[in-house]
Chains A and B, each alone.
Chain A
């Protein structure tokens, strides 16, 4: 197997590109794919301040590393979820990453700041853990980006993530979600701009990027996520990909090119109000996160406003 660029021995084959790459040119390929997404979707410019949502996994560390290498100003935000041993380990990978590069990291621990953790919230509310986790992370990232006047929140969603979400939404014809599934969501109604620069890279590519860059990341799957629907969708799509390389990219990018605009009208664009608890944008009197906090902590009124303004926020 020879590298497509230099004809030296290759270390990875990318069948959907019908190409093999050596380490040097694979890393360059990853950066080029990210640059292309940033350019095509006009995500942000080198003058912008970016906040990356970082978990200690391969995707968030890869996107932070690539953007840092490309010269963007990126700070990180880590949310402590309180998931047994898993959360402590994930923070150690993030800490090691920022220490080696001298980057800025803010840590918000759900337990210290809001009085609950993801396992507790799942039990108290009867929601699946991934639901409580996603809701909490979105709230904390949105709040931090708005409060910190960042120009965009960056997440490490990759091609597999986006194809799996699209697959799930199509299977159930969730038309209100389909209209929002884009690599870039503009800021609106108090929500920050959100960008996904990794959508042209598969999970295998982001993991390979980390291995070749010497980035130590948390390989272990979150114990709360094992067996969830999202993983099942990914496995299904990878069966198709194995038989027909390029299927995931054709599915997702074909949707963006030919179909997403057809669902724009289905997206709920109703005017949002302000949460009476925390001040976040919401279509209810109290936002979903404050309701989660209230139910999880057993409180009788929203406590997030106080918690948010007296947050236990660590700056490294």
Chain B
């Protein structure tokens, strides 16, 4: 088993998820709509079919704005 560090933005909080897990499955587990967020790691986008590495640190960034 490994642990993925997930930084969720706005409100900002960090959680740890047991792996291995694909991005799609992670978003489903967190009940997040994939149309409403980006998954970012190492300054770039992480595609939906990626399986997160055991030392992964990722950011899940909301993209909806209310202006």
Contact = CB atoms under 8 A, between A and B. Distances in A.
Contacts of B9: 219
A163 to B, nearest CB: 12
Q: Is the interface of B mostly helix, strand, loop or mixed?
A: loop
Contacts of A12: 45, 47
Contacts of A202: 35
B66 A226 contact: yes
Contact of B45 (A211, A226, A230): A211
A212 B47 contact: no
B40 A211 contact: yes
B45 A11 contact: yes
B49 A59 contact: no
A13 B47 contact: yes
Interface in B35-62: 35-38, 40, 43-49, 61-62
A: contact size bracket = 35 or more
Contacts of A203: 63-65
B4 to A, nearest CB: 18
A130 interface: yes
A11 B47 contact: yes
A222 interface: yes
Contacts of B65: 57-59, 203, 221-222, 225
Contacts of B37: 204
A226 B45 CA distance: 26
Given A11-B47, A211-B44, A239 B64 contact: no
A230 B62 CA distance: 15
A57 B48 CA distance: 24
A288 B37 CA distance: 37
A170 interface: no
Interface string A217-258: 001111001101011001100110110000000000000000
A41 to B, nearest CB: 22
A20 to B, nearest CB: 7
A238 B38 CA distance: 14
Contacts of A160: 64
B44 A239 contact: no
Interface in A167-214: 202-204, 206-208, 211-212, 214
Contact of A204 (B35, B44, B46, B67): B35
B33 interface: yes
A13 B23 CA distance: 12
Contacts of B46: 11
B67 A207 contact: no
Given A55-B67, A238-B33, A242-B35, A219 B61 contact: yes
A222 B66 contact: yes
A1 interface: yes
Contact of B33 (A9, A206, A226, A239): A239
Interface in A273-301: none
10 contacts: A11-B47, A13-B47, A13-B48, A160-B64, A211-B38, A211-B43, A219-B62, A235-B33, A238-B33, A242-B33
Interface of B: 9-10, 33-38, 40, 43-49, 61-67
- Listed from nearest, the 3 A-B pairs whose CB atoms lie closest are A225-B66, A207-B63, A231-B66
